[in-house]
Amino acid sequence: MVSGSFSDTLLLRQGLALLYRRLLPRLIILSVTVLVSCDSATQQPSVEVSGTRYLGIEQDSGVQAFLGIPFAEPPVNELRWERPLPIVNPLGEVNAAQFMPACMQTGSGLAWYHGMMSRVGVDPSLMKGPEYSEDCLYLNVWTAGDHSEPKPVLVFIHGGSNTGGWSYEPNYHGHALAERGVVVVTVAYRLGVFGWLSHPDMAIRNPGLHDLIVALDWVSMNISAFGGDPNRIVVSGESAGADNALHLALAPAMAGKLAGVIHQSAGWSVTSTLKPEDGFALGEALVAHHLGAGGNFADLKRIPAGELLDSQLGVFSGHYFSPIPDPETLPVSLEKTVAGDSLPGLNLIVGSNRNESLMYIPEGAVLTDYLEGYFPPETWGDIKVMLGTDLSELAQMDRLRSAVQYTCPSLALAQAAQEAGGAAHVYRFDRVREGFDAIGAYHGAELPYVFDTHDAWIPTNVVDLQITDALVDYWVAFLTNGSANEARSGGLETGRSEKDRATWPAWTQQQQALVITDELSTQTPPDAALCEFLSAAQVASARH
């Protein structure tokens, strides 16, 4: 038995009590979900919108969940790769008590979880994946039952490289934020070859972005019936979902409809854009693969979805699915928008994690191979010094890749937003859970904290929960009034007092960010100097 001081004992008791209060309601949620969805419709919470009555489920603390709400016609058969058709006719009564299948994918989203779990010694079989279908354009809503005052709305877009993931991954459930007075909406969109294929004969570009636009239109028109304020809709996302959220903020169809953007762990679209001709070439290769030379694109609609997924792994091997410039959805690429000082003034939370790339570095990777792709040889020595000569090559590679692909684009985005008259709140997430040294502050590590959705298999202690309460405070403040610096303790009994909430000012020339380790502090973001040096090195490379 380990002895300790009275304060240690008190902290342990507070932690155990807090864990009990947090975990018990989630066990209750599971049983309530099963019981209510099997009970009579008259006992289910209901919301009526334009002649359609949605029957949801009652969760703990007065939270109601409406799951699997269709926002567009199924994009199947002749509607594959076509513009999503909004649901316009009344549907009568819809049982919104269970999630619907995720969009077609190869299983990369589930594989991501299994890979992470294996790295930290957790049985991957604990994480189950969803069913997949082309009929997948559904959204989910969590809201408190009290609709007396309109609430801010968070619309979350899942990540997964635009090829995997689903809208109801455990990290994204909205019950905890709903308890804090936020209406949470998570949305699905077509993935991979179904959502991001480009071909000269397609009627539209970027079907996945069109899906998200239709989903946001549904939210804008209907969320007031669920207690949400249509004038306070913030679109959020992580990884590819974050870049999609930012693309939406620039889409002409979304002008004036969004109050802000939360951009977590992304940024490659800030520095690179898929050229239409490259996307078209891949689309033509897909037609040739299935139909032979001279094949008709329209005939691809007859190919079974499973066969298209198989060819996605071959024809599109190594390809990152992303939007191409398009007058409807992306008139100007994000790269040109940021570089050309034409970004609209946005209210923005943007940030990255310390070890974004660590899980993705293959065994045997060599730092110089990566340097070759980005920087002139004469800069390599100085870059290695900037990375830290005391670091292992793996750690140097992680720091460099995380900076180039995530941290530096995020800081550039914050600077562009500030110069455009917006307000950007920058964060850096460095917290490493107990037993997670192998993956560090990994890509996606912040998600359970900002949603307060720590899975049972993830080691979570009282410090994690205290950080969670603080980050939820910041997020709710931003959603409520556009300024994360208005965060105040939500009154939860965490043992963490209000003075422990670090001031989180908007980004200015002083370049201050919220840095999350075991504590919260405001400081110059880690790797800001590295980003400045790398930017200069890339400019030098472009001149050669």
The verdict on residue 4 lying in a domain is: no
Domain that holds residue 101: 40-342
Instruction: Give domain status of residue 327, yes or no.
Output: yes
The more confidently predicted of residues 11 and 201 is: 201
Other CB atoms within a 10 A radius of the CB of residue 307 amount to 12
Q: Is residue 420 part of a domain?
A: yes
Rounded average pLDDT over 459-485: 94
pLDDT in tens, 419-445: 999 999 999 999 999 999 999 999 999
Domain at 401, CATH number: 3.40.50.1820
Query: Which pLDDT score is estimated for 344?
Result: 86
Same domain as 385, residue 336: no
Q: Which distant-in-sequence residues (6+ apart) come within 8 Å of 484 by Cβ? A: 349, 425, 474, 475, 477, 478, 504, 514
Q: How many CA atoms, within 13 angstroms, populate the side-chain half-sphere of residue 541?
A: 16
pLDDT level of residue 539 (50, 70, 90 thresholds):
low
Q: In this structure, are 247 and 304 located in the same domain?
A: yes
Tokens in use for 105?
Answer: 């994918």
Query: Look-up: residue for tokens 């530096």?
Result: 408
Phi, psi of 102 (to 5 degrees): -75, 165
d(CA 25, CA 175): 11
Q: Structurally, how many domains does the chain consist of?
A: 2
- The last residue of one of the domains, among 283, 318, 342, is 342
Mean pLDDT, rounded, of the chain? 88
In a domain, 1, yes or no: no
- Long-range CB contacts (within 8 A, 24+) of 14-20: 14/462, 14/493, 14/494, 14/495, 15/461, 15/462, 15/465, 15/495, 17/493, 18/462, 18/465, 18/493, 18/494, 18/495, 19/460, 19/462, 19/465
Task: State residue 373's pLDDT score.
Answer: 80
pTM: 0.90
* Beta-carbon contacts of residue 371 (< 8 Å; ≥ 6 apart): 377, 380, 383, 400
* Spacing of C-alpha 535 from chain mean position: 26
| Residue where one domain finishes, among candidates 342, 366, 393 | 342
Q: Are residues 361 and 322 in the same domain?
A: no
The rounded distance, in Å, linking the Cα atoms of 86 and 136 is 13
As given in the structure block, the two tokens for residue 186 are: 């998570």
For residue 263, give the 3-state DSSP assignment.
strand
116/159 Cα distance (integer angstroms): 15
Q: Is residue 7 part of a domain?
A: no
Same domain? For 146 and 289 the reply is yes
- Does pLDDT of 286 surpass 60? yes
pLDDT for res 509: 87
Whether residues 248 and 389 fall in one domain: no
How many Å apart are CA 324 and CA 332, to the nearest integer? 9
pLDDT at 492 over 80: no
Average pLDDT over residues 290-315: 95
- What is the C-alpha R_g of the chain? 23
More confident call, 263 vs 498: 263
Last residue of a domain, one of 342, 366, 382: 342
User: Are 284 and 403 contained in the same domain?
Assistant: no
Question: 3-state SS string over 145-161?
Answer: CCCCCCEEEEEEECCCC
Q: Does 214 share its domain with 236?
A: yes
Amino acid found at 441: A
Question: Would residue 494 count as lying in a domain?
Answer: yes
Q: Are residues 201 and 116 in the same domain?
A: yes
Is residue 34 included in any domain, yes or no?
no
CA-to-CA separations, 158 to 70, 359, 417, in angstroms, rounded: 17, 19, 23
Whether 330 and 377 share a structural domain: no
